Chain A
Amino acid sequence: MVLAALKGVGFTYAYAEHPALVDVDLQLEEGLLHGIVGLNSSGKTTLCSLIRGVIPHFHQGDLTGEVTILGRPLLEWDAAELSRTIGCVFDNPFTQISGIRDSVFEEIAIGLENLGVPRTDMIDRVERVVEQLGIEAIVEKNPNELSGGQRQKVAFASIVAMDAPVVVIDEPTSQLDPEASEAVFEIIDGLKAQGKSIVLAEHKIDLLAQYADTVTVMHAGTVVMSGPTRDVVGSDEFGSYGVVAPEVTELGRRLAAAGRPLDRLPITRGEAFDEISARMRSTHAH
């Protein structure tokens, strides 16, 4: 089934002069991890808000075109259904902590409380999620005393506990250090392993190339490239939209430019390692 289908979609925020999205055509399949990249005002966040239904329920504005989520037009979904079906995590770890609970365990349970899940099930699910995300060490701490990286993990846990089949994640690592960013990506990979559909807007292209199944590039409010990760990231066109290619891809290009191309342009560290090891072995064999 198609996760999200956008045809000729345009959107202008109620307070804005210029449209945030212009003539967007996009199709995303279920069960995959879709990366969205682009410069800061390229429309990434607006696209994520749209898929999650934050537009139009929260942000008002002028919406044109067709948006279909999981087979139904976006405008037919009501807010409660959306929060049950599509989870969302965004970049600010401080505003995602409710501030009204004294322990991380209770904080994670908030979504389940609001959904009316019975207590025993609730406790089981929170326990499972804490294990899954590896946050046992902070489970009794007061959420208001956690660091940014810890809060972001708790925010993820809170959404994962609600077990929605789709998760929209908007720049989750922008305020985190590299170590916390890796931890977050591992969580996202874990979600993918569970079969969830994920839409992930990110700047950290190295990590994204490693985990995403498809990549969509946004530029000036419209989709300029979209397809399997390898095709998009490895293509020559990629760099022309202000998005930086992964380090290892750059490395591959420079080697090619120096007349010593690798067999395959790597897009992840793993591939680069393999390619370069193979090259070094063949060199030594001479």
Chain B
Amino acid sequence: MTSTLAAVAARYRRPMTLGNAVLDIHPTAMVAGITALIVVGLVSAGWVAPLVVSVLFVVIAFLAGRGRSYLGTILKLWLAVGLILFVLRALLVKGQTVLVPLGPIAITREGIQDGLRFSIAVMAICGGVTLFFAIVSMRRLMLALERIGVSPRVSYVILASFQAITDLGATARVVLDAQKARGIEAEGNVFVRARAFFPVLAPVFLTAMSATEERAIALDARAFNNPGRHTSLLDLKTWTGVDTALVAVAAAMVAAAVAGGVLGWF
């Protein structure tokens, strides 16, 4: 059931809320929190700490209600990126304790250690970055940036890019299908496929470029080029006690981790 206009307007009058405590954390506080976790995960040697942090990220994702999609993405990343990083290192890093000789190369214990450490450390970073973008939408991130004075043009470029990727991708797919229907082969050897590619691209890209002129005029009509101060319809939830607490805890964790690393606690 669609809300009435008055209900919609009323919703915009209230401060923005996403209905979940984790999602409502201010983007800046979220950056602090996730960065702190990554630092803690990486500052110790070995692969256990980054693994724990990666699992923690999954837990946070579920708390935010984005668990399922996050888990799907992160598992794919582990397979596509982490596994390759690990395998290559395990096989190729030179070490002393040979476990499995394979001709000119050998799997060594050092190789496995190095592989585990490097790949899981990288995956911890990946996990953190992916988590951030799973929780904070581009729109809210841009809003937070505009609040601290970043130009609305920057947010336009970023947000318009995402939309352009979608739009241009859809157009390209339509043209590619039309080419296939016309009998231009998209299967076969490399050269045949390459020949299918080029006639598709140039017209699609040219049309997109020509449209920018009209788009520029249309946005200019909406005072896009106005030099004065911009206001915002969406009211990003103001900084709360939760955010401050999170930043404080994050800072403390980083300090402790760095001190611990320096003092040799681990």
The reply to whether A and B meet directly (CB within 8 Å) is yes
Interface residues of A (CB under 8 A from B): 54, 57-58, 79-80, 83-84, 87-90, 92, 94-96, 98-100, 102, 105-106, 109-120, 122-124, 126-127, 130-131, 136-137, 139-140, 144, 155, 158-159, 162
Considering only CB atoms, which chain B residue lies closest to A135 in the complex? B5
- Closest chain-B Cβ to A189's Cβ sits at a distance in Å of 21
Q: A116 and B233: CB pair below 8 A?
A: no
- A90 pairs with B223, CB closer than 8 A: no
Say whether B221 contacts A87, CB under 8 Å.
yes
Interface of B is mostly: helix
Contacts of A111 in B (CB 8 A): 221-223
Q: Are B218 and A119 in contact (CB under 8 A)?
A: no
Contact call B229/A116, Cβ cutoff below 8 A: yes
In the complex the two chains form, is A90's CB within 8 Å of B163's CB? no
Interface string of B196-233 (1 = CB under 8 A from A): 00000000000000010011111111111111111111
Contact of B222 among A57, A98, A118 (CB under 8 A): A98
Assess whether B234 is interfacial by the CB under 8 Å rule: yes
Q: Are B5 and A100 in contact (CB under 8 A)?
A: no
- Using a CB–CB cutoff of 8 Å, the interface residues on chain B facing chain A are 2-6, 8-9, 12-13, 139, 152, 155-156, 159-160, 163-164, 166-167, 211, 214-235
A113 near B8 with CB under 8 A, answer no
CA gap between A137 and B4 in the complex, in Å: 9
Contact: B12 with A140, CB < 8 Å?
no
A79 lies within 8 A of B220 (CB) = yes
- Contact assessment for A80 and B222 in the assembled complex, using a CB-CB cutoff below 8 Å: no
Contact A113 B163 (CB under 8 A): no
Contacts of A84 in B (CB 8 A): 223
By Cβ-Cβ distance, the 7 closest A-B pairs, closest first, are A99-B163, A114-B223, A100-B159, A95-B214, A111-B222, A109-B233, A96-B218
Nearest chain-A residue to B2 (Cβ)?
A140
- Listed by A's residue number, 17 A-B pairs whose Cβ atoms lie within 8 Å are A54-B217, A58-B217, A80-B223, A83-B225, A89-B221, A95-B211, A95-B215, A98-B222, A111-B221, A114-B152, A114-B230, A119-B13, A123-B9, A123-B12, A136-B4, A136-B5, A140-B8
Bound CA span A113–B3, Å: 24
With A98-B219, A159-B221 as contacts: A139 and B5 at CB distance below 8 Å:
yes
Q: Which of A99, A122, A123 contacts B164 (CB 8 A)?
A: A99
- Interface contact B160-A100, CB-CB below 8 Å: yes
Q: How far is the CA of A162 from the CA of B223 in the complex (A)?
A: 9
| B160 adjacent to A127 (CB under 8 Å) | no
Q: Which residues of B contact A106 (CB under 8 A)?
A: 233-234
State how many angstroms separate the Cβ of B140 from the closest Cβ of chain A.
11
Q: A113-B230, A144-B163 are in contact. Are A95 and B218 (CB under 8 A)?
A: yes
- Closest Cβ of chain A to B76, distance in Å, is 26
Q: Are A158 and B222 in contact (CB under 8 A)?
A: yes
Cα distance A105–B5 in the bound complex, in angstroms: 10
List 18 additional contacts besides A83-B220, A111-B222; criterion CB under 8 Å.
Answer: A79-B225, A80-B226, A83-B225, A90-B218, A99-B159, A102-B139, A105-B8, A109-B233, A111-B223, A113-B230, A113-B232, A114-B152, A115-B228, A116-B228, A122-B233, A123-B233, A136-B4, A139-B5
Instruction: List B contacts of A112 (CB < 8 A).
Output: 231, 233
Closest residue to B155 on the A side, CB-wise? Answer: A100
Q: Once the chains are docked, how many angstroms separate the CA of A58 from the CA of B234?
A: 31
Q: Evaluate contact between B5 and A130: CB separation under 8 angstroms.
A: yes
- Residue among B4, B163, B167 making CB contact with A100, cutoff 8 Å: B163
B3, A140: Cβ atoms closer than 8 Å:
yes
Instruction: Give which listed residue, A90, A139, A158, A162, contacts B8 with CB less than 8 A.
Output: A139
- Which residues of the other chain, A, contact B159 by a CB distance below 8 angstroms? 99-100
Shortest distance between the CB of B206 and any CB in chain A (Å): 15
What residue in chain A is nearest B158 (Cβ atoms)? A100
Closest beta carbon of chain B to A127's beta carbon, Å: 5
Closest beta carbon of chain A to B144's beta carbon, Å: 16
Contact A99 B160 (CB under 8 A): yes
Compute how far the CA of A111 lies from the CA of B230 in the bound complex, rounded to whole angstroms. 10
Bound: A159/B223 CA distance, A: 10
> In the complex, are the beta carbons of A58 and B232 less than 8 A apart?
no
